[in-house]
Structure 1
Amino acid sequence: MSNVLLSVRGLSKNFGGLAAVQSVDMDLQEGVVTALAGPNGAGKTTIFNLMTGNLVASAGDVLLHGKSIIGKKPHRIAQMGIARSFQDLRLFTHMSVRDNVLVAVEPESWFWQPGGKAAWHQRLETVEKALERTGLSAMADKRAVDLSYAETKFLSLARILATGSKIWLLDEPASGLDLNSRNRFINILREATADGVTICLIEHNLDVMTQLADRIAFLDQGKKLAEDVPEKVLRDPELIAIYFGKSQSGN
């Protein structure tokens, strides 16, 4: 069995009387792609927010290398090696492509950065490698706002690549991509897992899930109903009925 890098144990989140996440257990293993599947409102993004400190859990724990990270601030969790993307991408639209990636690898928010020129050149080299891997080198000086939709998706991925993080939490990373762009995106993620990166993604496209995921955790109304290889989860008629809204499920 692969090495478990990140675990959630009994993870729960209540918003008043609404139980958004209910006692979820899950392990993210080194080099393994786990997809969170389920209808809208199943609790998928809430789980990401709990794992990254953007929300405080009502109960349960999140363990990174066996140690609890519950209560830590999001930027501290990011510094510990957990990178996160968002559906809205959160790019600096009027900054250049290069500077958008550079911001992701700056160790501090101060104008003056530690390490001097040597560290600066090392960070810049890291940025250029990330741009090359995502096919954005020729656009490095363009503003993010001037990119196509697909290019902004690759820019978001370049930022994650540049951090060197070994755990990636990706929220609908391939949504809206044309077939060629989607295949290129999937290849980059597969290259990353071959290098030992652990990926957990939220994805609604069944084709992407079957091409990319090693495991699927299926959620509905905040509960994990199943977790297995894609072939088993996606052939379960009850789960498929829930997924396509043929069974009652919350939003």
Structure 2
Amino acid sequence: MTTEVLRTENLSRSFGGVQAVAGVSLTLHAGAVTALVGPNGAGKTTTFNLITGNLRADSGTAAIRGKPIMGLKPWQVARLGVARSFQDLRLFTHMTVRENVLAATETASWFWQPGGSTARRAREARADAALEATGLSALARARAIDLAYAERKFLSMARILAAEADIWLLDEPASGLDLASRTRFGQLLKDAQARGVAICLIEHNLDVVVELSNRIAFLDQGKVLAEGDPDAILKDPALAAIYFGDRPQEAA
């Protein structure tokens, strides 16, 4: 058994009369990849937002290594070792690639950082290593806004690598990538998994899900309908019908 690092219990959140997340319980383990799968609007991204403090839960609990995190601000959750990517990437578009990555290593917003020049050099080394791992070293001085789409995706991953977090929440990280880029992305995840990083990804490309995930949680209408082995979940005809929008029509 791998070490449990993050657990949610009965997380729920409504927006007006819409129940976006309805009692989601989820466990992430060190060195394992869990995929959140389901149709659009299933509550996957909202679940991430509840874990990271970007949204407040109406009810339920979440803990990192047994430490409750409900009510913490996003930066406080990040300090506990959680790194997050977004569908819209949220890069500092007019900063250079290297500056974007260095920003993820900063421990405070002040110009002066604790640790002096030794700590600064260590942060710079982490940033350079992340650029090397993601194939962006040659673009270190380019502005983020001038990158191609796949390069922006890898810049988002470089920031996560440089942060040295041991819990990754990735929202559609492989969307829009060509085959070669998907292969490179997959290797990044496998390398992180080998280091003991707990990874949870939201992904609509089922080939990526099957290749990279150890476990799947299938969500629909804010609820976890099934959880388990990727092959078993994806071959379930009832879940496939929900995923592809072929669910039976309700009687009028």
* CA positional deviation for 1:115: 1.3
Q: CA separation of 1:120/1:236 partners in 2, compared to 1, >3 Å: closer, same or farther?
A: same
Aligned-partner residue type, residue 97 of structure 2: V
SS at match of 2:104: helix
Q: Which aligned pairs between 1:49-128 and structure 2 lie closer than 5 A?
A: 49-128=49-128
Aligned-partner residue type, residue 186 of structure 1: G
Aligned-partner residue type, residue 184 of structure 2: R
Following TM superposition, where does structure 1 have runs of at least 4 consecutive aligned residues deviating by more than 6 angstroms?
A: none
* CA positional deviation for 1:186: 0.5
What is aligned with 2:220?
A: 220
> d(CA) in 1 for partners of 2:157 and 2:32?
18
Q: Which aligned pairs between 1:168-247 and structure 2 lie closer than 5 A?
A: 168-247=168-247
Q: CA separation of 1:248/1:4 partners in 2, compared to 1, >3 Å: closer, same or farther?
A: farther
* CA positional deviation for 1:167: 0.1
Aligned-partner residue type, residue 44 of structure 2: K
> d(CA) in 1 for partners of 2:186 and 2:206?
13
Q: TM-score when scaled to structure 1?
A: 0.98
Aligned-partner residue type, residue 16 of structure 1: G
Q: TM-score when scaled to structure 2?
A: 0.97
SS at match of 1:24: strand
Which consecutive residues of structure 2, in runs of 5 or more, have no partner in the other structure? none
Aligned-partner residue type, residue 125 of structure 1: A
> d(CA) in 2 for partners of 1:3 and 1:106?
28
* CA positional deviation for 1:104: 0.6
Aligned-partner residue type, residue 208 of structure 1: V
Deviations 1:139-192 (A, max 9, x none): 111111111111000000000000110000000001000000001100111100
Deviations 1:192-243 (A, max 9, x none): 0000001000000011101111101000000100001101000000000000
> d(CA) in 1 for partners of 2:248 and 2:200?
26
Q: Which aligned pairs between 1:130-141 and structure 2 lie closer than 5 A?
A: 130-141=130-141
SS at match of 2:2: coil
> d(CA) in 2 for partners of 1:99 and 1:107?
15
Aligned-partner residue type, residue 83 of structure 1: A
Deviations 1:88-140 (A, max 9, x none): 00001111100000001111111222211111111000100000000111111
SS at match of 1:105: coil
Aligned-partner residue type, residue 242 of structure 2: I
* CA positional deviation for 1:248: 6.1
Superposition RMSD in Å: 0.9
What is aligned with 2:20?
A: 20
> d(CA) in 1 for partners of 2:185 and 2:92?
21
In the alignment of these two chains, the number of paired residues is: 249
SS at match of 1:130: helix
